[in-house]
């Protein structure tokens, strides 16, 4: 079986092929790409840890909601984080269509919006920079679900807007910090064991 860790860059889609956008498969040699498929999805503008494999059973198990496989994300967001908002996020916040399960939230640092300009998507930078002295912050959040745009929607539900989102961990497997965006490597035997824990 083949197991690869990929540091997905922003701007490419998690798909085997796409007629408009560059895909995660385009970063792999063609002979290898035809054997692999991505496990789960990351949005076009989300970067970070993505697993690619030829192990269909692994893909099925990781993506099953009732398995409660955790995913940890780092992000920058516009807005302020209060104790009340943190408790809402951690206790399971209601949103349109569903209520998120409990999450683990950790505030890292508060910023002014202007300090984070380099992390903003080019198409929204001008709009965000109209208020460079506005409040922003960095944080990590760990969830056990995978609803579409879930982390962004959870933060929007407490009045904050994420503009940079990176997945750092799946279950007990962390993203290799030495991998640059767009780079990949095979998982070690121990990393495969970490990935399969609780499956």
Show which residues are catalytic: 43
In eight-state DSSP terms, residue 27 is G
Tell me the sheet residues that pair with 76. Answer: 138, 164
Tell me the sheet residues that pair with 78. Answer: 136, 161
CA separation for the pair 182, 139 (Å, rounded): 23
- Which helix (H) or strand (E) is 122 found in, with range? helix 122-128
CA separation for the pair 6, 181 (Å, rounded): 8
125, 156 in Cβ contact below 8 A?
no
CA separation for the pair 57, 87 (Å, rounded): 36
103, 154 in Cβ contact below 8 A?
yes
CA separation for the pair 79, 81 (Å, rounded): 7
CA separation for the pair 150, 110 (Å, rounded): 22
């Amino acid at each position: 079986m083949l197991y690869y860790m990929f540091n997905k860059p922003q701007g490419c889609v998690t798909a085997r092929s796409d007629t408009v956008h560059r895909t995660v498969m385009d970063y792999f040699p063609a002979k290898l790409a035809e054997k692999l498929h991505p496990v789960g999805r990351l949005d076009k503008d989300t970067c970070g840890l993505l697993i690619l494999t030829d192990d269909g059973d692994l893909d099925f198990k990781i993506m099953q909601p009732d398995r409660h496989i955790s995913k940890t994300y780092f992000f920058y967001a516009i807005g302020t984080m209060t104790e009340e908002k943190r408790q809402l996020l951690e206790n399971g916040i209601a949103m349109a269509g569903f209520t998120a399960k409990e999450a683990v939230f950790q505030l890292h640092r508060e910023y002014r919006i202007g300090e984070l300009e380099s992390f903003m998507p080019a198409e929204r930078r001008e709009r965000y920079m109209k208020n460079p002295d506005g409040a922003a912050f960095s944080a990590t959040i760990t969830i056990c679900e995978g609803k579409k745009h879930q982390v962004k929607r959870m933060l929007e539900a407490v009045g904050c807007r994420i503009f940079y989102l990176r997945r750092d961990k799946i279950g007990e497997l962390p993203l290799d910090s030495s991998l640059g965006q767009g780079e990949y490597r095979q998982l070690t035997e121990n990393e495969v064991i970490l990935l399969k824990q609780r499956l």
